[in-house]
Every structure is written in structure tokens, then in C-alpha cells.
Chains A and B, each alone.
Chain A
Amino acid sequence: MTALVFASIFADSLNLNGDQANLFVLQQRLKWAGHSSTIAPVSSLAELEQSKADFLFLGHGSIAAWKACEAQWPSLAKDFLTFSNSRSALAVSSGADRVLAASGAQPAVLDASVSEFCLDDFDSQKILGYKNTSSIANSTLRVERAILTWLHGPVLAKNPAVADAILSDLLSISPKGLANENTRKIDEIVAGVWHLEMPKK
């Protein structure tokens, strides 16, 4: 049994659309596969280093939340990128936007009043969810070992293949090694979610 540590940056503030549920999804899938995990809330580089995290998560926040978080940790997007040079990480929506900007690339024009269901290509598979911008061609991309997605909310719940790709990378096992009765049940339900949303595309 492996015990993983998931660090979450400003977990309470950057959870505008239920983004933190992505860590819950990873934890549940790990538990079902017989492994354990803990979540380390971090609000500074020192706390991140102290956490000895295997994986780093950055969510989506309101304008005021970001202002408060960045006042406390001005280099958080850059530190996120540095972390993801060597370990895997996930940033969603406005979190992804800030990390992309820190990488020197042009961030998307975020418009949270856009809540558009989309289906895109990612890592030779499909990924679906709700995005807050129509100014990017593809909702999800990789920068270093980080997955940046402009899909918000519980992205990994609706995309179990992406969740298992993260976990299999962390555990150095095949995604097939994570399959069990619970994940099969989830797969069936997710098929229903995809079926419901696909005709809109």
C-alpha cells in the first residue's frame, strides 16, 4: 500500500466551482485501489516544501479570493511551475490561467459568465467538462508535468481516465491496476454523463 500526499494551494479560497473535489476523486480512487492519501493545505512555498507533496493542485477562485491569495503568496503560480518540473500537478480554470501566464505563454481571456460544456482532445484521449472561456482552442494542455485545464469543477470525476493517468503516474503502475468494482460502477455512470452531454457538441 502506498500513501500519497496531495498538496492543495489555498484549498478553502480556491474552490469556487467545487474544484477541490478533484482531490476527493483522486483520494477515493486511491482508496478503492487499496492505497491511502492525505491532503495538505498549503498557503506558502515553505508549507509546500514541508508537505513533501507527491502532487500539487490549484483551483479556481473569485477575483477577491485571488487578490487575497496572491497578496499572501505572490510567487505561487511560478512556484507551481517549478514544482511541476519534477512532479505531477493539476491547475483548473483561473488557476490554470495564472500558471500559463507564469510560464510566459499568453493566458486565455477568462470569462466566468461563459459556462460552456465542451469535449476536447487531451493526451490522445477525450476530456469533457465546463469551461469559463471561449478564447482557447483546446481546454486542456500540459506544461511540464502539470495538467492545465480551463474546465472547472470536478473535472476528474467526469474524466476517470485522466484521474487514473495521474494516479498510475504517481504509483508507477498501469492504469489497469487501479480498476475495481467501484471504478467500474463509476465508469458506467460517467458513460451516462457523456451520453447526456455529447449531443450538445
Chain B
Amino acid sequence: MRYLLAILIGRLTRVAVRLVRPGGGSALPGLVLSRLAPGLLASTLSSFEHGLVIVTGSAGKSTTTKMAVAIVRAHGLNVFTNPSTANIEQGFFSAILERSNLLAKVPGDIAILEMDEAHAAAIVKRVRPSFATILNVLEDQLDRFEDPAFVRRDLALVGESATDGVILNADDQNILWMLAESSGMRNVSWFGLTETVLAGARSGLGTAPTYLPQLVRPETQTTAIAVHELDLGVILNSGEPVQLTLPNRGLHFAVDAVAALETAQRVLAADFDASLAVKTLNDLPPVFARGEVKQVNGEEVEFILVQNPASFQLNLDNLTTKPGQILFAIGTDVHDPSWLWTVDLANLSHADVVTGYNHAEAALLLAYHEIPVGSVIADLDEALEAFFALPEPKNGLKTVIFSADSMRRTRRALGFIDPEDVTR
């Protein structure tokens, strides 16, 4: 009964927001609920029989979480999770609002949540996770995080708080240093790629350099041993080899897959069924806008989200065909577009339309790189209209490369309002 009024007000806010903006507005109701019932988050996350699993790090959180959730659900557990990118405190409140009854009870056996690094560090002071999966540290959002060393510090707090175990990336020296500098973490296990697989990454995995002595890479429990296009070969922690198909091309998705598999094996322990996990991942659609291909006006269109230098670089490196037409949209989420200049744009052949709040910054970047641009259109809706009015390309697909804010606006404009409505 304690949270009844807060839940009611939160739901009314959600209804009001959705009336004004169909498909949008998960942030405000969560914010309202967090103000009215700040204790609700900790009490909810502490209420699951099998505990809380936190997936955090600079990149790959959404895909890893989606994969781990799917595997655990396939094993019969009811999982509470958050929608992709809603990984800060108000996003968790929104997810609670979405799933709870009026008494604030959220059904579920376990919570598996992707969490922003800084928000995770704050939340574990109130709720200790059973497991923490820590993916990587990139030179990302430096206007927030200041320095990769500070991100390591936040991630260490998360790892130290996990009661049952920590799942770590053996191929990021930041993670090795985070553990070395921590006050200790319980039951650590590792995921990673073999040296041969890593060598296939044109620009590496984009992790931040540590400028510290190289630590010895630990032996991994779950390992990607071969990646070719979408095919991934993995040795599980039982030693069993499995073969699966990734939802997207790119080595970073292989990292996400082994992170998710190791997480699921730790969480499910003896109940883990390898063939069920493989089948689940084979059927799993991509997280929206991570190489997602959708029909727009009867035409196949690829959507690629770029959130930081590494994701921009890895996505450009993994363009398997030259996109026929490109819309390049950098929105308000890119508070400081300086990082765009750290990316090697050799694979970006052209842009038919440049748009988003930072359209001028994006156009400046492309102009200096002498990348041909069709038109620069400040208004995203007008830009989308112009782009989708272009005749279907003779070769390749229409491809939309956008930052998170432009992605949300584009999806809404195109009527893709269900984040789960993504197919292979």
C-alpha cells in the first residue's frame, strides 16, 4: 500500500505523455515515480528470489543483457529487465511502473538489468547484486566521466558489491586493472576471444588504453574461438564447443554473446542447457537499431546506432556491403561532437542526407574528410522525408546511421514504437 499513490500518479503521467507523444515518453513517468517513491527501486530490486544481475560497462550492455535475459527466460525463469538504453535510474523506475501491479509488486524470479556505469555504482550502495557482468571501458562520454580511470573506479564498486560472482572481460586491460586495484571480488570468471579471433578486428575492440603495464590475460571460462560473418564458435565453461549464429555482424557482438553465455551459465549453474542457450541465441533478433534491417515503404532499410567512437568505428569497419544511400543523423545526445573526429571514416563513402541537431557539426566533419554529401537538412522529419523519397538504390540498402537521440526520433517518425518489434 506504501507506494500505491506514487504508482497511480506515475501511471497517469505515462498515459498523459503517450497521449501527447505516441511511442515516446518513458523517461518522465519514471522521473515522477523516482521523486515520489525513491525507496521503491531498492525494495523492488531486492525482492527477486534469484537476485539481481547487473550488466554494465561502456559498450555492449543492451545486446549482452538482451541475450542473457533470453537465455535465462528460455530456461523457465521469469525475468524482470529494462528496455534497451533505459539504463539510468529513471529508466529502472519506468520499467517498474510498466511491470508492477498497483501495490508496486513486480512479478519475476530474477532481475537482469543493463546499467549505466555511474548509475550502477550509485545503485549498488542500496542494493547488492548477486552477479555483476562488467564488459569494458571505452573513451566514452568524457564530458561525464572525465577519465577512463574514473570509469574503472565506478565499475570496481559494482564488482565488489556482487555477492555471488563477477563475470569479466579478459580482453580489456582496464578490466584486469580494475580487478587488480579493487578491494576484492567474489568468484570471478572470465569471457573473451582467442588471439586469432581478436586479430580479425580491424580497429581492435576500441577499449581505452590504460598506459599501465600489461597484465597477464587470465584464462577464460567462455571463449569465442571462431567468428566468420554471423557464425560464432564458442567453448563454454564446461568445455563443450557450440556453434551459433549472431544477430548482427561484428566482433563486438561476439564479445556480447560470450559475455551473455558466461553470465547465463553462472546464474543458471547446473540448470544451464547448452543446446537451449544456442537455440535461443540463434532465434534472437538484434537489439533495435544495432544493424537492424526493417521494411520502410516496402524497401529494406538498415539502421545503425553509433554512441561512441568505438561503436561508430566498429560499425563502419563491419559494413559488409557499401550502403546504397546513407542518412547520417547526429542528435542532441552527442553533447560534444569532438569524439566524432577520432573515428576513421575511410569506410563512409558518402552521405545522401545529413541531419539531426548536430547536422552542421556532422557536415563539417564530412566536408573536411571530402566525403560527398547530398544535402544537409536541419529538421529530422524533413530529412527523413527527403531520404525515403529517394529512389531505391540500385546497389546496397538505404542505411541510416544515427546517434541515440536521432534514433529515438527516427523510430517514432517511422512508427516503430515497440522496442521489442525487431526481427532478424
Contacts and interface: CB of A to CB of B under 8 A. Distances in A.
Given A21-B368, A24-B368, A62-B148, 20 more contacts: A15-B342, A16-B142, A17-B336, A17-B339, A18-B340, A18-B342, A21-B342, A28-B368, A62-B147, A62-B149, A63-B147, A64-B148, A113-B146, A115-B336, A153-B338, A154-B341, A157-B365, A189-B364, A189-B376, A190-B360
A117 to B, nearest CB: 8
Interface in A67-81: 67-68
Contacts of B208: 62
B61 interface: no
B211 A64 contact: yes
A63 B209 CA distance: 11
Interface in A151-180: 152-154, 157-158
B394 interface: no
Interface in B325-366: 335-342, 357-361, 363-365
B101 interface: no
Contacts of A182: 367
Interface in B64-118: none
Interface of B: 139, 142-149, 208-212, 335-342, 357-361, 363-365, 367-368, 370, 376
Contacts of A189: 360, 363-364, 367, 376
Contact of B341 (A13, A18, A63, A193): A18
B344 to A, nearest CB: 11
Given A115-B335, A153-B336, A192 B363 contact: yes
Nearest to B177: A64
**What band does the interface of chain A fall in when counting residues whose beta carbon is under 8 Å from B?**
35 or more
Contacts of B139: 16, 62
**9 closest Cβ pairs, A-B complex:** A153-B338, A18-B341, A115-B143, A192-B360, A21-B341, A68-B211, A64-B211, A17-B338, A112-B146
Nearest to B338: A153
A186 interface: yes
A196 interface: yes
Given A16-B139, A113-B143, A154-B341, A64 B212 contact: yes
24 contacts: A13-B211, A16-B139, A16-B142, A17-B142, A17-B338, A18-B338, A18-B340, A18-B341, A18-B342, A24-B341, A63-B149, A64-B209, A64-B211, A68-B211, A112-B143, A113-B145, A153-B338, A153-B341, A154-B338, A157-B368, A186-B367, A189-B364, A192-B363, A196-B360
A122 interface: no
B367 A112 contact: no
Interface string A178-198: 000010011001101101100
Contacts of B144: 113
Given A15-B342, A17-B336, A64 B210 contact: yes
Contacts of B210: 64
Contacts of B363: 189, 192
B364 A190 contact: yes
Contacts of B149: 62-64
A35 B363 CA distance: 24
Contact of A115 (B142, B148, B212, B359): B142
A148 to B, nearest CB: 18
Nearest to A129: B338
B360 A65 contact: no
A156 to B, nearest CB: 10
A112 B364 contact: no
The B interface, classified by DSSP as helix, strand, loop or mixed, is helix
Contacts of B142: 16-17, 112, 115
A118 interface: no
Given A192-B360, A196-B360, A13 B209 contact: yes
Given A115-B336, A153-B341, A67 B211 contact: yes
Interface in A29-82: 62-65, 67-68
B116 to A, nearest CB: 15
Given A17-B336, A112-B142, A113-B143, A185 B342 contact: no
B312 to A, nearest CB: 12
B144 to A, nearest CB: 7
A30 B359 CA distance: 25
A183 B143 CA distance: 30
Contacts of B360: 189-190, 192-193, 195-196
Contact of A130 (B211, B212, B336): B336
A137 B350 CA distance: 41
Contacts of A68: 211
A185 B339 CA distance: 22
Contacts of A153: 336-339, 341
A151 to B, nearest CB: 9
Nearest to B141: A115
A130 B142 CA distance: 12
A161 B146 CA distance: 30
A102 interface: no
Interface centre among B212, B357, B368 (most CB of A within 10 A): B368
A190 B340 CA distance: 16
A22 B146 CA distance: 21
Interface in A121-162: 130, 152-154, 157-158
A25 interface: yes
